Amino acid sequence: MKKTSVLDSFEQSIEDNAGKFVPLSETEKNELETIINAANKTKNINLRISAYDLDKMKKKSAEEGIPYQTLLSSVIHKYLNGTLVDERAVLKSMELLKQYC
């Protein structure tokens, strides 16, 4: 007897709409491939930052268990995508909300 698993909402959405999906045209495939390839390419850069900031970056990366260049790249990526969060600002906002709730 085959065991079936329960689909999460995203998987169920795909299942429900499977008949509506339309294959990409060759042009669309090429455009998508170009975007993916560009996103996966990395470039080396020279960056001047203070010795103090570099030292802090290296210490933070050691705490996270990743190379400092990877952490720096992640910070830049999150900033550019609007997902970099200032923890102190979030905590301050939470404290302010507690005062009014």
**pTM for the full model?**
0.54
CA neighbours within 13 Å on the CB side: how many for 85? Answer: 6
Sequential pLDDT tens for the chain (101 residues) = 456 678 899 999 988 988 888 888 999 999 999 988 888 788 889 999 999 999 999 999 999 999 999 999 999 989 998 899 888 888 898 988 888 87
Sequence-distant (≥ 6) Cβ neighbours of residue 31 within 8 angstroms: none
**Would you kindly state where each structural domain of the chain is located, as residue ranges?**
9-100
Distance separating alpha carbons of residues 21 and 9, to the nearest angstrom: 18
| Angle at the Cα of 11 from the Cα atoms of 82 and 37, rounded to 5 degrees | 50
